[in-house]
DNA sequence: CGCTGTGTTGAATGCCGTCAACGTCGGTGG
DNA sequence: CCACCGACGTTGACGGCATTCAACACAGCG
C-alpha cells in the first residue's frame, strides 16, 4: 500500500498500449511518443485514483485491474456510476470541458494506470490519428449506457435491474470457471445495490433465491453466474415462476 | 402540418446563428460558410424530426421551438430523455460514432430546425474554431445530466424527483407570467411521468396537492410554478409538512 | 354532439425499503 | 496459533409509498 500512486517505472514499453483501440494502427515510434508524456502508477485496492470535486488536471488509462467510479449525494449516499475495465480511458473530464472530476475513481483491486497531464490531450489528438474519435466514442458510449440505465430504472422492477446489472458485469468483466462465469473483481451486495438503486437487503434476498434455483453461486464479495440463459429470462421478466 | 420537413428558405441569414455558443466569435463570412451546408426546415407540433433506430445521416440545431427526445422500450413503454431548447445542437449521433439515432426527436411545438448532412461535420470542425469543443461539451454536459438523473432515481422518492424535474423545466424553458414562471411548451402529466419514471396518476396527485398549497398552478398541458422557493424545499426534502 | 385525449380522485394491492437480530468470514495483533 | 473485531451477509417482520384498477369529469375537435 505504500506504493499507491508512486511511479514505479520510467521507461514504458510500447507493447503496453499497442493493442488498445485508442491507439489502433500506430507505428512503434508514435507509440513511444504517446508514452513519453505519460506516467505509470500503481494504486492499491480501495485507494482513490482521483476524487469527486478535485481539480481535473489529468486523464487516465487503465492498464490492469478494475476501477469503480463512484458519485456521492449531498446527503452522503453513494452510487456506482460504472466499472472501468482494462484498456479503457477514464477521468477524461477534459474531453467534456469539465474543470473538476464529476465522480471519484477507486481501485477495486490493485491497479496499474497510465496517467497524462491535461496538457498532453491536445498533443495526442494531433499526433494520434483516431485518438480524438476514439475518446469521443467512449463518451458517447457512456452516455448511451447511462441512458439505458435511466430507462431500466424507469420501467423495470428491482429484480430485473439486478439481473441486468449482473449480466452486464459478467459480459464486461467475466472470467470463465468450471461452474460458470465469475465476476473478476470483489463485489459486495452493497456494491450491486449501489449500481441498481436498491438496498443490500434486497440484493441479498435476490441472490439467495437465485442461488437456490441454481442460477448463480455467490460468496463473500464474489458472484458467479451459473445459468446465464436463465438469468436473461429473469432480466426480461420471462422467467418461469 | 403539410409543411413538416419542407424547406422553406434557401438563403439563410447569418443572424440566425451568430449568437449561439457553437458559433461564438465567428466572422460574418465564416457564418455564411456554415449556413451554406445547412437546410432550414419547419416541423409541425408532434411530428418526428428523426426516429429512433433510423440511419443517422444528419445532425441538427434547433432555431426555434422545443423538441422532446424520446426512447421506447421493447415493451412499448416510453421515456423522455430530455427536452432540447432553442440554440442547442441535437441528433449529433455522428459525434458519438453512432450509425443510427438512439432516440426519436419530436417537435413539442411547431419548430424551426437547421439540418446538416453528416458530411458537413468534418468541415465545420475544421472551419469553425471551437465548434468541435462546443459539441463535445454538449455531449459531456448531457452525460452529466443523465448521471444526475440516475442518482436522483436511485436516492430520491417520487415527490422529490418530480419537484426537481419541474424546477429544471422552468429554469431551462420558463416564461415569466404574472402568476409565476410557466413552462413554455405544452406538457402533460404523462410527459412529466415519463421524465421521472412514475405514472401520470402519481404526478396528477402531486400537482393537485401542490396546487392546493399554492406552489404551482396547472391546467391542461400547462404548468406554472408560483412558489419556486417552496418547490425547492420539497425537492430537497425539507418542506415543512 | 359524440369521441378522443387529458386530468382527477378513491380504494386496494403489493413491492420493496426499513428495522432488527443474528451468523460468518477473514484479517490483524497479541 | 488463536482470539478478537469489523466488514460482510442472511433472514424475518412490518409498514409505507406508489402503482394498479376503476370510475368519472372535462375540454377540444371534427
Question: Which chain B residues are closer than 8 Å to A238 by Cβ?
Answer: none
For residue A107, what pLDDT is reported? 97
Task: Choose, out of A73, A155, A162, the residue to mutate when testing the contact with B (most B CBs < 10 Å).
Answer: A155
Across the interface, which of B75, B96, B153 has its CB nearest the CB of A153?
A: B153
Any bridge partners for residue B78, and if so which?
B72
Q: What pLDDT, on a 0 to 100 scale, did the predictor assign at position B224? A: 98
Higher-confidence residue: A11 or A230? A230
Cβ neighbours of B142 in A, within 8 Å: 143
Any A CB within 8 A of B98 CB: yes
Q: Which residues pair with A80 in a beta bridge?
A: A70
- State whether residue B99 sits within 8 Å of chain A by CB: no
Alpha-carbon distance of A41 to A5, in angstroms, equals 5
Could you give the 3-state DSSP secondary structure of residue B37? coil
For B136, the closest chain A residue by CA position comes to A96
Round and report the angstrom distance from CA (A208) to C1' (C21): 18
pLDDT of A164 > 90? The answer is: yes
Q: Which nucleotide is nearest to A220 (CA to C1')?
A: D8
- A1 pLDDT more than 50: no
The CA distances from residue A191 to A77, A78, B60, B233, in Å, are 12, 9, 39, 30
Domain ranges of chain A: 6-153, 157-235
Beta carbons of A143 and B139 less than 8 Å apart: yes
| Residue A2 confidence (pLDDT) | 37
The pairing of strands A216-219 and A222-225 is: antiparallel
**Is the CB of residue B190 inside 7 Å of nucleic acid strand C?**
yes
Q: What is the pLDDT of residue B3?
A: 45
Q: Is A202 exposed, middle or buried (0-12, 13-18, 19+ CB in 10 A)?
A: middle
Q: Which helix (H) or strand (E) holds B53?
A: none
Q: Would you identify the CATH topology of the domain A157-235? A: Arc Repressor Mutant, subunit A (1.10.10)
Nucleotide nearest to B188 (CA to C1'): C6
**Which of A139, A144, A150 is closest, CB to CB, to B102?**
A144
Checking if the pLDDT of A78 tops 60, the result is: yes
Does residue B21 carry a pLDDT above 90?
no
User: Nearest CA of chain B to the CA of A149: how many Å?
Assistant: 7
Contacts of A147 in chain B (CB under 8 A): 71, 81, 102-103, 146
Best A76, A133, A145, A146 member to test B by mutation, with max B CBs in 10 Å, is: A146
Q: What is the pTM of this model?
A: 0.92
Q: What is the pLDDT of residue B166?
A: 98
- CATH architecture under which domain A6-153 falls: Sandwich (2.60)
- Over pLDDT 90: what percentage of chain B? 75
What is the model's pLDDT at position B27? 80
- The reported pLDDT for the residue numbered A237 is 85
Q: What is the mean pLDDT of chain A?
A: 91
Among A15-29, A106-120, A179-193, the range scoring the smallest mean pLDDT is: A15-29
With a CB cutoff of 8 Å and minimum separation 6, the contacts of A234 are A159, A160, A163, A210, A215
> Contact A88/A65 with Cβ under 8 angstroms?
no
Q: What pLDDT score was predicted for residue B68?
A: 97
Each residue of A192-221: pLDDT tens digit? 999 999 999 999 999 999 999 999 999 999
Nearest to A143 among B79, B133, B143 (CB): B143
Amino acid at each position: 500500500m505504500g506504493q499507491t500512486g508512486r511511479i514505479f517505472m520510467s521507461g514504458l514499453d510500447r507493447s503496453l498500449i499497442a493493442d488498445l483501440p485508442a491507439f489502433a494502427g500506430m507505428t512503434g515510434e508514435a507509440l513511444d511518443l504517446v508514452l513519453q508524456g505519460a506516467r505509470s502508477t500503481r494504486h492499491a485496492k480501495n485507494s482513490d485514483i482521483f476524487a469527486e470535486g478535485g481539480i481535473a488536471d489529468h486523464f487516465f488509462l487503465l492498464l490492469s485491474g478494475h476501477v469503480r467510479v463512484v458519485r456521492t449525494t449531498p446527503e452522503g449516499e453513494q452510487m456506482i456510476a460504472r466499472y472501468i475495465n482494462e484498456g479503457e480511458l477514464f477521468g477524461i473530464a477534459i474531453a467534456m470541458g469539465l474543470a473538476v472530476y464529476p465522480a471519484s475513481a477507486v481501485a477495486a483491486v490493485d491497479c496499474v494506470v497510465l496517467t497524462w497531464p491535461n496538457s498532453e490531450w491536445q498533443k495526442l489528438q494531433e499526433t494520434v490519428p483516431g485518438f480524438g474519435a476514439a475518446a469521443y466514442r467512449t463518451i458517447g458510449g457512456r452516455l448511451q449506457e447511462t441512458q439505458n440505465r435511466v430507462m431500466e430504472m424507469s420501467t423495470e422492477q428491482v429484480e430485473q435491474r439486478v439481473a441486468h446489472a449482473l449480466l452486464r458485469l459478467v459480459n464486461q468483466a467475466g472470467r470463465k470457471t468450471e461452474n460458470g462465469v465469475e465476476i473478476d473483481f470483489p463485489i459486495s451486495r452493497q456494491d450491486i445495490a449501489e449500481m441498481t438503486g436498491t438496498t443490500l437487503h434486497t440484493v441479498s434476498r435476490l441472490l439467495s433465491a437465485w442461488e437456490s434455483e441454481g442460477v448463480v453461486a455467490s460468496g463473500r464479495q464474489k458472484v458467479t453466474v451459473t445459468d446465464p440463459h436463465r438469468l436473461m429470462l429473469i432480466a426480461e421478466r420471462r422467467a418461469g415462476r
